[in-house]
Amino acid sequence: MNDINKLSLRIPLEGTINTRDLGGFETSDKRHIKYKRIIRTDNLSRLTPKDISYFHNVLDARFDVDFRSHSEICGKNDKEIPNCQYIYCPITDDLNSGKRQHPHEEFIVDSPNISGLINYIFTISHDGDVTSSMEQSYRDFVGLPYGIEHYRIFMNVLLKNKEGSVLFHCADGKDRAGIGCALFLSALGVDKETILKDYLKTNVYTKEKADRRAKYLREDCHMTNEKVINSVYMLAGVRENWIKAAFDEINTKFQGIDNYLHNQLELSDSDLKDLKSNYLE
């Protein structure tokens, strides 16, 4: 039985806040994922020398799979880890691809990161409320050809890696990386309830950032639009309805996760067997 409180524990690094080893998860056939083989994290652009040493010497990182779009990476490149191959694997062709910004009131926000986040909010929501609008983003991650193509690349990297660990991440290690994690765990036979609990555990590790952002907007920027403040807060973490929208897309458009793994991610029965042999004990 998977006790999520004892699994997916944050690795305390200096330059990331959401780095977790997926080791220990139990599958339907009572095997367990090996430790130090598959690591989900947020972006690796702020790694310190101590962090780099940990990834190299302790986790023996062999691949760094980056789900961010080109515009997100610009100026925030992952720090190089010795003997670790970088894989550019964007799940969207650009963060705002195909979306148009809705008109909204002007906010005086000095932080470029949070100002950019507010602009993003108004590309996916006309009223600044992302509670439901993020559901469509998640459907796009798993439902559009571009995302499918690159999650397929991710799975091929996992198949290729026979020793050491694979690192995978997006910007905050929660949405695109959260889906990547869900697909990997599904391929190994981890139950959906455990996958959901692991996904929501991000909120534990990002709460401090979410609180800090909301405080900044209220106290430093004197913002009074609580709907936007709440959206900025939510986007520091994740919500259950978001990942459920992705699973719903897989179920309704692709006839379930097993068909999705076989037909969209092009994993054969032999590939799935190899994944289990490689990552389970």
At 144, give phi and psi (nearest 5°): -90, 150
CA distances for 60 relative to 17, 51, 88, 106, angstroms: 20, 12, 20, 47
At 89, give phi and psi (nearest 5°): -145, 65
138: tokens are 């998640």
257: tokens are 């996760």
| pTM for the predicted model, two decimal places | 0.95
| CA 276 – CA 279 distance, rounded (Å) | 5
How many domains does the chain fold into? 1
In terms of residue numbers, what domain contains 251? 4-279
Contact yes or no for 44/79 (Cβ under 8 A): yes
99: tokens are 């979306």
For the chain, 281 residues long, give each residue's pLDDT as a single digit of tens.
Answer: 688 888 989 999 999 999 999 999 999 999 999 999 999 999 999 999 999 999 999 999 999 999 999 989 999 999 999 999 999 999 998 765 667 788 888 899 999 999 999 999 999 999 999 999 999 999 999 999 999 999 999 999 999 999 999 999 999 999 999 999 999 999 999 999 999 999 999 999 999 999 999 999 999 999 999 999 999 999 999 999 999 999 999 999 999 999 999 999 999 999 999 999 999 99
CATH at 224: 3.90.190.10
